[in-house]
């Protein structure tokens, strides 16, 4: 059983505020951050739609979506401002809605081939779902966003014995252990979400249980990816910033959920629609 050694920070709106990059008069779409996205698959096409829409809602200069033929039209129908073309990026979001590498269909094989671009064009990277296996292999600041079951698989593959039940029971301790074993920043999703990075550990406020529905994890990945793209230039000199951006993404995600839900069921699309309101409340608390 791991023992947490970090000093835990309870994340608030005041902590999140400086992690939201405000555009300046001199900015253009490239300086505001370009996020390269490899998400979704023929089996899970909605992940591509939700992750790109959430990234755009969070505020950045451009989303570059690396498609398979089945997904481009869906993404553009929801978000016509997405660029369907390869090119330079400031950060990557990989894996939401992509199956694991085993037993690949041709389309899924192509998704994993596209993920190799992240190794050829290093930039701060968010790994979700089907890309989690890349943890610790990239030459760039890396954030992973597993739930307890996915973290169990990752740690077991590294020779650490645990279970989803054990991780869910002690998320603080296991997030810190995973950060040390994998050498990446960890955003461990669950009823209690925690973040562990180099020298920093963060606890998020409890979110509404209505968030436990399909697609909301894809929205979280898009939010965090956008924040990372906007702050890419600072990450090399400030490794702890990646954990702060992850915590801010999770805070905005939970805040948007509370706004969308108001004590009732919500969908991932409703959640995405309230990201801007959540950001506004963090930036301008006295006016909302």
Q: At what angle do helices 46-58 and 216-230 cross, to 10 degrees?
A: 40
Quote the percentage of the chain above a pLDDT of 90: 82
Query: Is residue 68 pLDDT above 90, yes or no?
Result: no
Average pLDDT over residues 268-281: 97
Average pLDDT over residues 251-276: 97
Residue 220, H or E segment: helix 216-230
Sign of the CA dihedral with 119 first, then 120, 126, and 129 last: negative
Query: Is residue 44 pLDDT above 90, yes or no?
Result: yes
CA atoms within 13 A on the CB side of 57: 31
Quote the pLDDT of residue 288: 55
* CATH fold group of domain 15-146+180-283: 3.40.1190
Quote the pLDDT of residue 101: 79
Residue 175 DSSP one-character state: H
Number of residues assigned to the chain: 288
Average pLDDT over residues 203-209: 96
Q: How many CB atoms lie within 10 A of CB 144?
A: 26
Average pLDDT over residues 130-149: 95
Q: Residue 22's pLDDT band (boundaries 50, 70, 90)? A: very high
Sign of the CA dihedral with 194 first, then 282, 218, and 72 last: negative
Counting runs of H as helices and runs of E as strands, what totals does the chain give?
A: 13, 9
Query: Is residue 78 pLDDT above 70, yes or no?
Result: yes
Average pLDDT over residues 2-22: 84
């Amino acid at each position: 059983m791991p023992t947490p050694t970090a000093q835990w920070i309870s994340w608030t709106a005041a902590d999140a505020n400086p992690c939201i990059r405000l555009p300046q008069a001199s900015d253009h779409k490239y300086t505001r951050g370009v996020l390269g996205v490899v998400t979704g698959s023929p089996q899970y096409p909605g992940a591509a739609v939700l992750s790109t829409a959430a990234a755009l809602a969070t505020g950045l200069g451009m989303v570059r979506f690396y498609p398979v033929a089945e997904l481009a039209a869906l993404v553009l129908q929801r978000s016509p401002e997405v660029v369907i073309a390869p090119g330079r990026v400031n950060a990557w979001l990989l894996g939401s809605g992509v199956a694991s590498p085993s037993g690949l269909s041709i389309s899924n094989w192509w998704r994993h081939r596209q993920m190799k671009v992240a190794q050829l064009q290093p930039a701060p990277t968010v790994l979700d779902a089907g890309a989690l296996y890349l943890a610790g292999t990239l030459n760039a600041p890396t954030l992973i966003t597993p739930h307890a079951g996915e973290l169990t698989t990752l740690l077991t593959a590294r020779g650490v014995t645990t279970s989803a039940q054990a991780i869910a029971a002690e998320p603080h301790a296991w997030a810190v252990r995973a950060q040390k074993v994998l050498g990446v920043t960890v955003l461990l999703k669950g009823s209690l979400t925690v973040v562990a990075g180099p020298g920093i550990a963060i606890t998020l406020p409890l979110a509404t249980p209505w968030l436990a529905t399909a697609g909301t994890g894809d929205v979280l990945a898009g939010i965090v990816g956008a924040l990372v793209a906007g702050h890419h230039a600072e990450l090399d000199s400030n490794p702890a910033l990646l954990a702060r951006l992850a915590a801010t993404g999770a805070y905005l995600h939970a805040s948007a959920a509370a706004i969308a839900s108001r004590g009732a069921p919500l969908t991932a699309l409703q959640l995405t629609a309230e990201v801007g309101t959540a950001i506004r409340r963090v930036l301008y608390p006295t006016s909302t």
